Homo-oligomer: A and B are copies of this chain.
Amino acid sequence: MLVDQILLHINKGKFAANQKLPSEHELADQFRVPRMIVRKAYERLQELGYIYSMQGKGSFVKDRKKQIPLVFSKDVSFSEKMRELYSDYYSENVGCEPIPYHTEIYPSLSTDKDEQVYKIRRLRFLGKLPIALHTSYISESLFQDIGELGNTITSMFEYYRSKGYTDVYSEKSILSVIFPTEFEREILQCSSLVPLLLLESRCLDRETGTVLEVSKIRYRSDCFTYII
């Protein structure tokens, strides 16, 4: 497979960032294959985020951000942990809106069909790089002011503390791998073949056992390793 071979070269560090790759014709002659094969390989590498091509100019290697270790933890807020470790970590609220009835989320929150559940999304950054999209589903019946305040929250952990829930924890998480939708590609600034780690869990108050939120976090898998 041509893609594998080119990747090998790139990963070996044989190409510097933004260095021009051989033209499609050149590489085709070199490997004795039709240009279409090289073309497909280059297209694939583009979608994987390794190179970029410009009509008339050529194809160039992207500077590959190296994989930074992140720590998955159970008891501590993701934000708190990250702020400890990385000084340039910050969150940005990217919207709060009511959602229609959902057959899994509503029961998880012990919410009736006629009550309202809100979806609050925060984008997590490390420097200028968006690393994760955090979506929290919480019920209006438990948090009356969420409709108004939802747009301002960047840390649910702090919000819960302000409501008197001082000891919250996360349930067992379900991990799966998905590819980004168009919205996720745009907001996470990644190409279509960058897999996302989807971590689903619920957040509970330890004292009462109340389910505070259903949480879905989508992590970019290309610039991080995760310690579990």
Contact = CB atoms under 8 A, between A and B. Distances in A.
Contacts of A193: 193
Contacts of A192: 1, 3
Interface stretch (A18-26, A111-119, A175-183): A175-183
Interface stretch (A75-83, A99-107, A157-165, A220-228): A220-228
18 contacts: A1-B192, A3-B192, A4-B181, A48-B179, A69-B174, A172-B227, A174-B225, A174-B226, A175-B227, A175-B228, A176-B221, A176-B224, A176-B225, A176-B226, A177-B222, A195-B195, A195-B221, A228-B228
Q: Which among A67, A69, A182, A197 has the highest number of chain B CB atoms within 10 Å?
A: A197
Contact of A228 (B48, B69, B172, B182): B172
Interface in A132-185: 172-177, 179, 181-182
Interface of A: 1, 3-4, 48, 67, 69, 72, 172-177, 179, 181-182, 192-193, 195, 197, 221-222, 224-228
Contact of A173 (B48, B172, B177, B228): B228
Nearest to A185: B1
Contacts of A227: 172-175
A16 to B, nearest CB: 23
Given A4-B182, A182-B1, A221-B195, A176 B228 contact: no
Contacts of A226: 174-176
Nearest to A196: B177
A174 B228 CA distance: 6
Nearest to A40: B43
Contacts of A3: 192
